A = this chain, B = another copy of it.
Amino acid sequence: MITNLRALEPQELSDFCKDLKKEVISKVSDKIPHLESSLAVAELTVALHYILNTPKDVLIWDVGHQGYIHKALTGRLDGLESQRTSGGISGFLKRDESPYDFFGAGHASTSISALAGVCIADHANKVFRRRVAVIGDGSLTGGQSFEALNHLASIDTSALVILNDNDQSIDDTIGGLHINGGYKEYFESLGWSYTKFEKGKNISLLVSQLQACMAQGGKQVLHLRTKKPNLSPPKSYEPGTTFQWWAAEALRSAMESQRKIHVISPAMFAGSGFAPLRDEFPLRMHDTGINEPHAVTLAAGMAVADVLPWVHIYSTFLQRAIDQVIHDIALQKLPVVFLVDRAGLVGADGPTHHGVFDSGMLHDVPGAMIWQPKDGDELQAMIHQAAHIQHELQGPLFIRYPKDKTVCDSPVSFEEMRHEVMVGSNSLLVSTGALSAQVKQGLFDHVHLAQTKPLPVAFCELLGNYDSVVLLEEANGFGGMTGMVSAFMSKADIETKLVLRKIPDAFTDHGKRNELLRELGLIP
């Protein structure tokens, strides 16, 4: 398709692009989240592949939500139908998948850093080619994009950054830069040449503009105004069916009873199911943009000034702020509650987004408390309890819950949450989080650990009674709950045999959550 494209005359590009969009929409519009992001840059995508000699020339996308038209153009149009399902192509840019995916993407704000790396390498290798990164205005709120722009500006090279400005991070873009529209001054202050282009839908004008920018050389920014089409209504969770919906319910009630609670989210209020709360508590819900390090230190600043901060954050993005958790919150013993959403395997989004690394990191944080509910009832009890005890906390409290269905049918109090089913076995199965609800009962004695740090004393006292203990945890790595229990047993000189069942030491591909859990041997 690329070869056909490059044989066209400029005036034919518009029809080519329209046909391509139609084909993509007709095939997959009901199957692809964030497709709007790609459609908004359809003309840009076609124009770039028309001008550039990809894959030899360098085209780097940020995040990857913008990449579906790019995928369609580069041999994966049919593949889009099965994308994000087991065995199908990825929802993000992925080097394994195509030489046209020059650099992988999934988390935001990395594209300009990668571009800078290519510039340095090309200079060293005396490679001359065109180099382009496309970044959304949302990703630009992540500080790594500033770091990269600032550093790349000081390197003697040629590179083009295209700012795809559609007013949206995921939620509406926030921040002074966007509100003031100060992009020209911003890029120029760092040493970049800046051009604004409003006619992004006119593909032949766009081609000329891109060629002009590239011909100028040096560090060029092209600021393109685009508009997402409205294909689908904003995401919402069916009432009463998911951890996300119940989290919002419980948080509402906690915010009503404790007026000092403020909630921070790095651009994920909509994805979290908390969007309705923003309307109800507009002064107490703070969207910081896509910038996890700032969001976490912001919470620390709020805590020292006498409000009770909660941070809503996806597990996979919390990886970006683990230093701030350690340095600004745990070390200073500040009472901050974290709602760690998307903990565990996330399914279709795949390896860039599985929430499988935070457990190891968080259990290693001194003074941290970690709760992992098995269902919506426990999640609600935990959120209420967190609001109740927050003022006494001497460090962070993490409540980890998955992207999954759950119901609430039998309310529990926080005290009742240690769930045991004893059948008189010599073996004890220990699990935590939503996996506990999927354990097949009756084969072994079973304990669901709702609190995995610190380990409950009553639980610890049980361990010596068994010939073997099986520890089941939906996480990568060698620490986490399994590491804590192993360390306790070693210290307490309990010689019970231990069996660890975790995610193996490898990246897990995309697919349906329950199918993945079954393949990994974590559920029956």
B107 touches A327 (CB 8 A): yes
Measured CA separation A230–B209 after assembly (Å): 51
A479: Cβ under 8 A from any B Cβ: yes
Flag the segment in A6-14, A141-149, A409-417, A513-521 that touches B: A141-149
A284, A326, A495 interface centre (most CB from chain B within 10 Å): A326
A480: Cβ under 8 A from any B Cβ: yes
Return the contact of A190 from the options B150, B177, B184 (Cβ within 8 A).
B177
A478: Cβ under 8 A from any B Cβ: yes
The smallest beta-carbon distance between A449 and chain B, in angstroms, is 14
Return the contact of A95 from the options B95, B304, B484 (Cβ within 8 A).
B304
The smallest beta-carbon distance between A369 and chain B, in angstroms, is 12
Q: Which residues of B contact A151 (CB under 8 A)?
A: 174-176, 288-289, 291, 294, 298
B141 touches A150 (CB 8 A): yes
Return the contact of A319 from the options B297, B323, B484, B500 (Cβ within 8 A).
B323
Given contacts A114-B328, A177-B191, contact A302 B262 (CB under 8 A): no
Interface residues of A in 284-326 (CB under 8 A from B): 284, 286, 288-289, 291, 293-294, 297-307, 309, 317, 319-320, 322-324, 326
How many chain A residues have a CB neighbour from B under 8 Å? 115
A147 touches B366 (CB 8 A): no
Flag the segment in A16-24, A98-106, A238-246 that touches B: A98-106
Q: Which residues of B contact A497 (CB under 8 A)?
A: 493, 495
Q: Which residues of B contact A127 (CB under 8 A)?
A: 305-306
A144, A283, A332 interface centre (most CB from chain B within 10 Å): A144
Q: Which residues of B contact A189 (CB under 8 A)?
A: 177, 180, 182-186, 189
Q: Which residues of B contact A500 (CB under 8 A)?
A: 487, 490-491
Measured CA separation A154–B291 after assembly (Å): 15
A148, A189, A302 interface centre (most CB from chain B within 10 Å): A189
Given contacts A320-B323, A328-B114, contact A147 B476 (CB under 8 A): no
Q: Which residues of B contact A389 (CB under 8 A)?
A: none
B297 touches A114 (CB 8 A): yes
Q: Which residues of B contact A352 (CB under 8 A)?
A: 327, 331
Measured CA separation A435–B322 after assembly (Å): 26
A147 touches B291 (CB 8 A): yes
Q: Which residues of B contact A166 (CB under 8 A)?
A: none
The smallest beta-carbon distance between A179 and chain B, in angstroms, is 6
B149 touches A176 (CB 8 A): yes
Flag the segment in A45-53, A116-124, A418-426, A437-445 that touches B: A116-124
Interface SS of A by simple majority: helix
Flag the segment in A26-34, A65-73, A355-363 that touches B: A355-363
A204: Cβ under 8 A from any B Cβ: no
A428: Cβ under 8 A from any B Cβ: no
A115: Cβ under 8 A from any B Cβ: yes
This chain: how many copies in the complex?
A: 2
A110: Cβ under 8 A from any B Cβ: yes
The smallest beta-carbon distance between A434 and chain B, in angstroms, is 21
A366 touches B505 (CB 8 A): yes
A366 touches B121 (CB 8 A): no
Return the contact of A478 from the options B327, B367, B479, B506 (Cβ within 8 A).
B479
Measured CA separation A487–B186 after assembly (Å): 50
B147 touches A327 (CB 8 A): no
A192: Cβ under 8 A from any B Cβ: yes
Q: Which residues of B contact A322 (CB under 8 A)?
A: 319, 322, 361
Measured CA separation A125–B306 after assembly (Å): 8
1/0 per residue A355-388: CB within 8 Å of B?
Answer: 0010011011011000000000000000000000
Measured CA separation A507–B284 after assembly (Å): 32
Interface residues of A in 435-494 (CB under 8 A from B): 476-480, 482-484, 486-487, 490-491, 493
Q: A124-B284, A326-B357 provided; 13 other pairs, C-beta below 8 A?
A: A114-B304, A117-B300, A117-B304, A120-B286, A120-B307, A123-B283, A153-B180, A177-B189, A185-B185, A293-B320, A360-B478, A478-B479, A478-B486
27 contacts between A and B (CB under 8 A): A104-B327, A106-B327, A107-B323, A113-B297, A117-B299, A117-B301, A117-B305, A118-B304, A120-B301, A120-B302, A121-B262, A121-B301, A121-B302, A121-B306, A124-B284, A124-B307, A143-B143, A143-B145, A147-B288, A154-B174, A184-B189, A322-B322, A322-B361, A326-B357, A357-B364, A360-B478, A479-B483
* Chain A residues engaging chain B, CB cutoff 8 angstroms: 58, 95, 102-104, 106-107, 110, 113-118, 120-125, 127, 141-154, 174-177, 179-180, 182-186, 188-192, 260, 262, 283-284, 286, 288-289, 291, 293-294, 297-307, 309, 317, 319-320, 322-324, 326-328, 330-332, 351-352, 357, 360-361, 363-364, 366-367, 476-480, 482-484, 486-487, 490-491, 493, 495, 497-500, 505-507
| Those 4 A-B pairs whose CB atoms lie nearest each other, nearest first | A117-B301, A143-B143, A153-B176, A479-B479
